[in-house]
């Protein structure tokens, strides 16, 4: 139980395109403790979404490793990885990623059915009621407002009670007022379920609501939000962390 919820160890992600390989994540080292809420900030293109995709097991590390809840994702084949993700990780994207041909209820029931829950629809309905959408069960995503769609996405992410929630600019497509409501809901759900949160955002006031902020630039972590990192010059924190990491 002393294992961190997330451990990135010299994580490298390289994309290959016509121009050749591009190293998008460069030897990231990061531990996130259970129950921590971590915001991830940094300029556009710095690798925030890529880091989240690797944490979610939606991208494979090129080298180095990512462990979630004590499990090294590199040890899992595609099926095992999908199962692991389905049970332990909730993911929320900026553009909702709902299945357009399914009702709100069906969208939320899918991960529960995949997890083998016989009460999938009952549980989905309950979760939608919790996010204030009990009156929208049979609506399709196209019939819902942006804020409602994101609440469906939150219900879908939380339905299986994941230990880890990954959210990539969840209010990026919402107006200020709607975004605030979605964020209140997100933090309520996180604290009710004791979920570890990684929240990508470019909104400083939102970042501040998390217990810690990690800053990325050019594929590297330039500040990991720990007291030692912010008070000690970078060269000096690398060594003790190396020793403590094993
Ligand atoms: P952020 O979320 O911080 O804006 P991203 O993780 O989306 O950054 O992107 C980091 C870098 O990786 C960018 O330079 C981007 O162009 C590049 N990138 C992202 N996805 C791909 C891909 N599928 N193929 C090649 N390069 C990519
Ligand atoms: Mg991004």
Task: Give me the torsion for CA of 137, 177, 49, 133, rounded to 10°.
Answer: -10
Cβ–Cβ under 8 Å, residues 32 and 8: no
The stretch 184-204 carries a mean pLDDT of 96
Predicted local distance difference test score (pLDDT) of residue 1: 57
Contact 125, 137 (CB under 8 A): yes
pLDDT confidence of residue 242: 47
User: Strands, E, within 142-218: which ranges?
Assistant: 164-168, 196-200, 212-217
What is the homologous superfamily of the domain 6-230 according to CATH? P-loop containing nucleotide triphosphate hydrolases (3.40.50.300)
Close Cβ partners of 101 (under 8 Å, ≥ 6 residues apart): 140
pLDDT at 182: 94
Q: Which ligand is nearest to the CA of 41?
A: 1
pLDDT for the residue 2: 78
| Cα distance between residue 160 and residue 178, in whole Å | 25
User: How confident is the model over 78-136, as pLDDT tens digits?
Assistant: 999 999 999 999 999 999 999 999 999 999 999 999 989 999 999 999 999 999 999 99
Q: What is the mean pLDDT of residues 138-152?
A: 97
Is it the case that residue 26 has pLDDT exceeding 80? yes
C-beta neighbour count of 122 within 10 angstroms: 12
pLDDT reported for residue 230:
47
Q: CA 1 to CA 4: how far, in whole Å? A: 8
Mean pLDDT of all residues in the chain? Answer: 92
Residue 16 CB–ligand 1 contact under 6 Å: no
Any atom of ligand 1 within 6 Å of the Cβ of 49 = yes
Q: How confident is the model at residue 229 (pLDDT cuts 50, 70, 90)?
A: low
pTM: 0.91
15 lines ligand 1 (CB under 6 A): yes
Distance 44 CA to ligand 2 centre (A): 7
User: Which residues are CB-contacts of 87 (< 8 A; sequence separation ≥ 6)?
Assistant: 115, 160, 162
Return the closest-CA partner of residue 29 out of 12, 15, 41, 45: 12
> Which class for 71: exposed (0-12), middle (13-18), buried (19 or more C-beta within 10 A)?
middle
The predicted-structure confidence for 31-72, as pLDDT tens digits, reads as follows 999 999 999 999 999 999 999 999 999 999 999 999 999 999
């Amino acid at each position: 139980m002393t294992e961190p919820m997330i451990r990135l160890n010299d994580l490298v992600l390289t994309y290959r395109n016509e121009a050749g390989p591009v190293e998008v994540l460069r030897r990231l080292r990061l531990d996130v403790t259970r129950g921590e809420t971590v915001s991830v900030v940094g300029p556009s293109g710095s690798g925030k979404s890529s880091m989240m995709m690797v944490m979610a097991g939606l991208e494979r590390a090129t080298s180095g490793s990512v462990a979630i809840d004590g499990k090294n994702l590199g040890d899992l084949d595609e099926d095992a990885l999908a199962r692991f993700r389905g049970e332990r990780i909730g993911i929320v994207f900026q553009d909702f990623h709902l299945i357009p041909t399914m009702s709100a209820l069906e969208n939320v029931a899918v991960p529960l059915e995949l997890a083998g829950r016989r009460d999938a629809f009952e549980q989905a309905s309950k979760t939608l009621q919790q996010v204030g959408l009990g009156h929208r069960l049979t609506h399709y995503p196209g019939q819902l407002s942006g804020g409602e769609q994101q609440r469906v996405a939150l219900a879908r992410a939380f339905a299986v009670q994941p230990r880890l929630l990954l959210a990539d600019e969840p209010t990026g497509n919402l107006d200020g007022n709607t975004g605030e409501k979605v964020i209140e809901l997100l933090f309520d759900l996180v604290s009710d379920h004791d979920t570890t949160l990684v929240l990508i955002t470019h909104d400083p006031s939102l970042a501040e609501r998390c217990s810690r902020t990690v800053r990325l630039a050019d594929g590297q972590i330039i500040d990991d939000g720990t007291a030692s990192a912010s008070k000690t010059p970078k060269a000096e924190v690398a060594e003790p962390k190396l020793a403590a990491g094993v």
